[in-house]
Amino acid sequence: MDRRSFLATGASGIAAVTFAPHLAFAAAATDRRFLFVIQRGAADGLAILAPTGDPGFAGLRPQLGAEAANGTKLDAMFTLHPALKQVAAMTAAKQALLVHAVASPYRDRSHFDGQNVLETGGALPYRMRDGWMNRLVRTMPDNPQAIAFAPTVPPALRGSARVASYAPSNLPAAGEDLMIRVGDLYANDAQLGPLWNEALQARTKAGDLATGRGAVAAGALAARMMKGPGGARIGMVETDGWDTHTAQRGRLNAQLTGLDAVLAAFRDGLGEDWNNTLVLVATEFGRTARENGTGGTDHGTGSTAFLLGGAVAGGKVVADWPGLAPTALYEARDLKPTINLDALIATALGQHFGQDPARMAQMLFPDTGSAPLRQKLVLS
C-alpha cells in the first residue's frame, strides 16, 4: 500500500466528523461556493482602482498616480491598475464587481487590530472570539466543507465549526507506519485528535498539486480542493505583503501581478463550477490619500474590495464616491469610507446562498448591526 492509498483509507475511516450544532436556516442545499482572499498589510485601494476622474487625485499622487496611465479605464472616474489584466477581463465579461471607498467598522490604523476586526466581524478588535467565515459555515444547512489554504486556520475561519487547513510542504513524507501510530497517539487528545483527522482528509484530496509553488499553483490548488460535488464550498487564501510604506510602485505591481494570477488560476481550475462561485478580495484598511516622502503610502482608512466569479452581477464599479478634496478626506488624510464592508459581505453572501441578507448580516456580524445594501451584487 503506498502512502496515497493509505491516506485515502485512513481518511474514510474517520469520515464521521462531529460538527457543532447548526443554526437553523431553511435554505436548501446548494452547490454555490465562496472563496475569501485576504490582503494582509492594508492594500492601497487608490492605486488598485485609481479615481483618475477625481480632480484631487493627481495632486495627491504626483509620482504614484502615473501608474494609472497604463491601466484599464472602467468609466469616467475609475481606472484599474495595469497589473490586473485578468481582473479587467473578468470585468469585461461581467464577472467582476469592483467596490470602492469601502471599510470594515475599524477606524484606527493598526494592522493587527484591523485584521482582527476584518476576520472576526466584530465592531471592535477582540470583541468576538470566532470568525465570520466560521459562523457562515454554521448558517449552512448541509455541513459544507470549509478549508484554509494555510498550515494553520486563520482567525476568520476559527470557531466551533470544524475547518480543514492545507498547504503544500517540501518535507519528505513520513512513513506510513509512523502516520498510523501518531493517529493512535492523538486519538484521546482533545486538541490534537481532531486536527490530525482534518489534516489527513485534506492531504488525500490535494494529490499531485501538493508540491506546487507560487501564485498560479496556489490558485490551482484552491480550485482543485473546491471543485466538483465533493469539493469544499468555503475557502480562504491569505496573501501578505501589502504594507507599502516605501517604493510602492514596483512592490504593488508585483503584488497585483501575483493576485491576478491567483484569481485567474482559480477561475480556470474550477471550470464549470466558476459559474456558481463568488470570490471576495478584501483588506483590513486602506492607505493615506497623499503619497508619503518615500515613494509609498502610510496607514489609512477607505480602500477597495472585489467581488468576482461567474455568479457575480458584475461589469462595473460600485461606489458612493466621497471625493478627494481636502475637506472630503477622513481625518484630513484618508479616503473616507462610504460603504460598509460588513454590509457588502452580508449582502453578497445572502444573495449568493439564497438567504435573507438582513438575517445573514445578523448571523455574521451581530456586533455591528449593518443594514444590507440595496444593490444586486450576485445573480440568483
Partner 1 sequence: MRDLLFAQNRFGLGPRGGQPAETGDGREWVEAQLGQRLAGLDDVPTRSEAAEALIAYREERRDARQNRMDMPAAMPAGGTMASLAPASMMAPAPAANPAGAARRAARPPELAAARRDQRELYLRAVDARVGAALTTPTPFLERMAHFWANHFAVGATKMTTVGYAGLLELEAIRPNLTGSFADLLFAVERHPAMLLYLDQAQSVGPNSLAGERAGLRGRDVGLNENLAREILELHTLGVRTGYSQSDVTEFARALTGWTVAGIGRGPMQRRLSGQSGDFTFAEALHEPGARTILSKRYGEDGEGQARAVLRDLAVHPATARHVATKLARHFIADDPPPAAVARVERAFLTSRGDLPTVYRALIEAPEAWQADRPKFRNPWEWTIASLRALDLPAPPAQRAVGLLQELGMPVWRPASPAGFDDIAASWAGPDALVRRVEAAGRFATAAGQGVDARALAPGVLGARLSNATATAISRAESPATGLALLLVSPEFLRR
Left, alpha or beta for 158 (phi > 0: left; psi -120 to 50: alpha)? beta
Helix (H) or strand (E) holding 158: none
Instruction: Compute the least distance from the CB of residue 329 to partner 1, in Å.
Output: 13
CB-nearer residue toward partner 1: 58 or 371: 58
**Residue whose CB is less far from partner 1, 89 or 215:** 215
Phi, psi of 346 (to 5 degrees): -65, -40
Q: How far is the CB of 19 from partner 1 (least distance, A)?
A: 16
Q: What's CA 9's distance to the chain center, in Å?
A: 32
Shortest distance in whole angstroms from residue 147 CB to partner 1: 10
Quick one: 59 or 228, whose CB is closer to partner 1? Answer: 59
CB nearer partner 1, residue 52 or residue 255: 255
Q: Which residue has the cell 518615500?
A: 294
* Residue 29 C-beta: closest distance to partner 1, Å: 25
Rounded least distance, CB 109 to partner 1, Å: 7
Please state the closest distance from residue 111 (CB atom) to partner 1, in A. 6
Q: Is 287 helix (H, G, I), strand (E, B) or coil?
A: strand
Minimum CB separation of residue 292 from partner 1 in Å reads 6
Tell me if residue 266 falls in helix, strand or coil.
Answer: helix
CB atoms inside a 10 Å sphere around CB 271: 11
Q: Which is nearer to partner 1, 165 or 368 (CB)?
A: 165
Non-local CB neighbours of 185 within 8 Å, separated by 6+ positions: none
Q: What's the CA gap between 175 and 265, in Å, rounded?
A: 32
Cell numbers standing for residue 331: 481625518
End-to-end CA distance of the chain: 46
Pick 196 or 274: Cβ nearer partner 1: 196
Quote the CA–CA distance of 111 and 83 in Å, as a whole number: 25
Q: How far is CA 276 from CA 80, 247, 272, 340, in A?
A: 25, 39, 8, 25
Neighbours of 376 (CB within 10 A): 11
Smallest separation, CB 282 to partner 1 (Å): 15
Of 277 and 347, the one with the shorter C-beta distance to partner 1 is 277
CA distances for 363 relative to 104, 132, 138, 141, 342, angstroms:
16, 8, 9, 14, 11
What residue type is 354 in one-letter code? Answer: G
Smaller CB separation from partner 1, 138 or 158: 158
Q: Which CB atom, from 70 or from 362, has the smaller least distance to partner 1?
A: 70
Q: How far is CA 169 from each of CA 78, 102, 338, 344, rounded to the nearest angstrom?
A: 41, 36, 42, 35
Residue with cell 445573514: 360
Q: Which residues contact 27 (CB under 8 A, 6 or more apart)?
A: 140, 141, 353, 354, 355
Shortest reach from residue 125's CB to partner 1, in Å: 7
